[in-house]
Structure 1
Amino acid sequence: MNGWFLAAGITSFGVAAVHLVAGHRDVVRPLLACALADEPKRVLHAVWHMVSVDLTLSAAVLVCLALADDTSATGLVAWFVAAHFVAYAVTFLIVTLSVGWSKPLLRLPQWILLLPVAVLTVAGIG
């Protein structure tokens, strides 16, 4: 068993849970209540659910990698998952830093949850 992948998978399940609970309260409810036109509102709502699915499936993949025998495909899949979490974290950092907020790194702290999954996954590849 690969403990790094298991830690990454458990962390990713935690990220998915935070996304589902806090995201529904802080993002989805205000989005659905706002005056935005229905079509873009529903597209954003669907995208939020797509991210929920993505985070959960990534967590499941990491747990499967942790329990699987090491194969040639394990490293490739793990690099893909790690890159995916790095891309998410970088996206949040770019968006946050481009707005000009005071204390921007804490305004959208999602990158703080996403980056550890990538780091733990890369550690498991090593």
Structure 2
Amino acid sequence: MNGWLLAAGVTALGVTAVHIVGGHRDVVRPLLSSGLADEPKRVLHAVWHMVTADLALSGLALLYLSLADGTPGAGLLAWFVAAHFTAYAAAFLAITLSVKWPRPLLRLPQWILLLPVAALAAAGAA
């Protein structure tokens, strides 16, 4: 068993839970009650659900990989998931830092949840 990938998978599923609960309250509800036109509103709602599925499937893949350590291709898939979470964190950081907010890193703190999954998955893939 690969403990790094196990930790990454558990963390990713925790991030999924935070996304579902916090994201529904702080993002989805305000989005759906906003005055935004219906088509972009529904597209953004669907994208939120796509991210939910993506986070959950990535977490499950990491759990599987933790048990399949040494299986051909397991390391490559773990690197892919690490890169994936790194890209998500980078997107949040880039958007957060492009806005002139006071203490911007705490206004959109999602990157804080995403980077540990990337680091743990990378450690397990190595």
TM range, smaller chain:
over 0.9
1:90 is matched by which residue type in structure 2? A
Answer yes or no: is the 8 Å Cα contact 2:12–2:55 preserved in 1.
yes
Residue ranges of structure 1 left out of the alignment (5+ in a row): none
Shift in Å, 1:69: 3.9
Structure 2 counterpart of 1:64: 64
Distance (whole Å) between structure 2 residues aligned to residue 11 and residue 75 of structure 1: 18
Q: What letter corresponds to residue 22 of structure 2 in structure 1? A: A
- Aligned residues between the structures: 126
Q: How high is the sequence identity, in percent, across the aligned residues? A: 71
Gaps of 5+ in 2: none
Query: Is 1:35 the counterpart of 2:32 in the alignment?
Result: no
Quote the Cα distance in structure 2 between the aligned partners of 1:41 and 1:98: 23
Structure 1 residue 93: Cα displacement: 0.1
Q: Counterpart in 2 of 1:120?
A: 120
Equivalence for 2:75: 75
State yes or no: 1:100 paired with 2:100: yes
Counterpart of 1:11 in structure 2 is: 11
Once the two structures are overlaid, the 10-residue window that deviates more, 87-96 or 68-77, is 68-77
Q: CA deviation at 1:75?
A: 1.0
CA deviation vs aligned residue, 1:50-70 (integer Å, no higher than 9, x gap): 000000000000000001141
Whether the 8 Å CA contact 2:2–2:69 is kept in 1: the answer is: no
Match of 2:25 in 1: 25
Give me the CA root mean square deviation: 0.6
Following TM superposition, by how much is the alpha carbon of 1:119 offset from its aligned partner in structure 2, in angstroms?
Answer: 0.2
* TM-fit CA distance, 1:71: 2.2
CA contact (8 A) 2:76 2:125 kept: no
Aligned-residue offset at 1:30: 0.1
Distance 2:116 2:34 in 1: 33
TM-score calculated relative to the size of structure 1: 0.98
Contact 2:88 2:111 in 1 (8 A): yes
